[in-house]
Structure 1
């Protein structure tokens, strides 16, 4: 099993394997047909409260390390994260799709690192 991340706005490719959207909100401008999803896993995304704070709180806006730490704590307690980790055992390749513009400081990068720390093979970041 290998986990990778990719922007949902990039075209689907045969090598993507099992495609999972890991955003809580549907990405703007992407049809369900174009996304070519196998699963939309809203529950593994940051909580609505954390997402709102990350995007709107002036006191730590832009502090990615703070966001990442809080998101990791959520993942540690999340049955959805454990289920995603187990899903990797069912597929040769799992592509985690996200809608964020920044390809380096986003929740999917944190999720990918978390999966790697919990025994999954990951490619990228």
Structure 2
């Protein structure tokens, strides 16, 4: 069964097919009251580190390097990735973010990682563990 994982700005209207909504930003979005966010959880520890976020600054020219660095940081939170993968297997999962740029943000990268890991798990007779590429990023500490 293919998992449905979406990304969505927190400022977009909530829709019935959003499923479980998880905020994946390190800081709470401006102008949004917690009661109005309609998120099931706020997983700050899957957000990019402050240093990485500030370095990136949503500059599309830094996108590829940001993707690689952020994947390295995600390698440090395999329990959270497993948790998100479990939620995705249970029904639609929406990764909620605040950035204006819908194509260059952490939710896009996190979605990629989750879908890759779920695909590996679905392959028959293939051993898998979340974030098995973590050895490529020895300096990805927060």
- TM bracket, shorter-chain basis: 0.7 to 0.9
Q: Which residue of 1 aligns with 2:26?
A: 24
Q: Which residue of 2 aligns with 1:106?
A: 105
Q: Which residue of 2 aligns with 1:94?
A: 93
Choose between structure 1 and 2 for higher RCO, CA contacts under 8 A separated by at least 6 residues. Answer: 1
SS in 2 for 1:52: helix
Q: Which residue of 1 aligns with 2:115?
A: 116
| Matched ranges for 1:46-85 at <5 A | 46-55=48-57, 62-79=61-78, 80-85=80-85
* Aligned-residue RMSD, C-alpha: 1.9
How far is the alpha carbon of 1:61 from its aligned partner? 8.0
How far is the alpha carbon of 1:8 from its aligned partner? 0.5
SS in 1 for 2:84: helix
TM-score, normalised via structure 2 length: 0.74
SS in 2 for 1:5: strand
TM-score, normalised via structure 1 length: 0.83
Q: Give the unaligned 5+ runs of structure 1.
A: 121-125
Q: Which residue of 2 aligns with 1:41?
A: 43
Consecutive aligned runs of 4 or more in structure 1 exceeding 6 Å deviation = none
The alignment of Structure 1 onto Structure 2 pairs a total of residues equal to 116
SS in 2 for 1:12: coil
